[in-house]
Amino acid sequence: MTDAAGAQLTKLARTLGVPVDRLDYLAEVPATDLRDFRFQIADLLFESQSGGLRKVAAAAKVIPAQIIAKLVARNRNALLAARMAAVLEPSHAVDVAKRLPVDFLAEVAPLLDARRSAYLIADLPTDTIVAVGKLLARHQDWITLGDLMAVISDAAARAAQAALDGTALLHAAYLVDDADHLARLVALVSETKLAEMLRAAAEHDLWDEYRSTLDGLPDPALATVRAAADQLPPDLRDRALAEIADRRPT
């Protein structure tokens, strides 16, 4: 099994609501096929549940966002909030989300389909995004943190990377699906923070995650990682650079 396939199995297990070891029989399936399969399942689940919610969303158009936010926060039903976010009119959903407590947003975030909710996440205030990201890191929810980092604005990504440690960022980068999103994040992360991510790979034996992340990077982003590696002690620098030299072609 490749490192990229391992990341996709982790995310597929989340979508299916099963332990990842129950999917070991899929270990040899290419990562792109696993990703597409996960998207198909997520779409099927959404379509099977969205009919009634669309009627509720249509009725909610006439209810002020502050009232909906109070109702949602009072009931604390994260699953219902996530389902509603996918069917509400986008600007209305954003207005509601901006009024919800940060800790509740962190409960809702893992239940969102990032493909359908990217607009919602991207339009939240930067301080809210950073606060949610820190809570996700505290809970070690790397899947959701990776989805969050992939869709936020450049300004929010810079603020989030400054607030998170190298371990959290490496875990999150490992679980970012799109190579373009990953390259963008590398370009936004400071060289000092990249060096911190490399130290995390050594200190917590996250070389598999580091290697998988390298496989998704174009040459300019790899050059940025090489520059960050020069800040490391010789033994860690040599290991980090060796992984870059040995990376599989993308």
In a domain? residue 134: no
Average pLDDT over residues 49-73: 68
Report the alpha-carbon distance of residue 84 to residue 57 in Å, rounded: 7
Average pLDDT over residues 95-103: 90
For the ranges 95-99, 108-112, 140-144, 242-246, the one whose mean pLDDT is highest: 140-144
In a domain? residue 169: yes
The pTM assigned to this predicted structure is 0.80
Judge residue 215's burial from the number of C-beta atoms within 10 Å of its C-beta, 0-12 exposed, 13-18 middle, 19 or more buried: middle
Q: What is the pLDDT of residues 152-168, one digit of tens each?
A: 999 999 999 999 999 99
Split into its structural domains, the chain has a count of: 1
In a domain? residue 77: no
In a domain? residue 73: no
Domain boundaries, position 234? 165-250
Question: What is the percent of the chain where pLDDT is above 70?
Answer: 91
Q: Would you say how long the chain is, in residues?
A: 250
The band of 56, judged by pLDDT with boundaries at 50, 70 and 90, is low
In a domain? residue 217: yes
Given a cut of 50, is residue 114 above it in pLDDT?
A: yes
In a domain? residue 206: yes
| DSSP letters for the chain | --HHHHHHHHHHHHHHTS-GGGGGGGTTS-HHHHHHHHHHHHHHHHHHHHHHHHHHHHHHTTS-HHHHHHHHHHHT-HHHHHHHHHHS-HHHHHHHHTTS-HHHHHHHGGGS-HHHHHHHHHTS-HHHHHHHHHHHHHTT-HHHHHHHHHHS-HHHHHHHHHHS-HHHHHHHHHT---HHHHHHHHHHS-HHHHHHHHHHHHHTT-HHHHHHHHHT--HHHHHHHHHHHTTS-HHHHHHHHHHHHTPPP-
Q: What is the pLDDT of residues 38-49, one digit of tens each?
A: 888 888 877 766
In a domain? residue 192: yes
Q: What is the pLDDT of residues 205-244, one digit of tens each?
A: 999 889 888 887 888 888 899 999 988 999 888 988 988 8
In a domain? residue 35: no
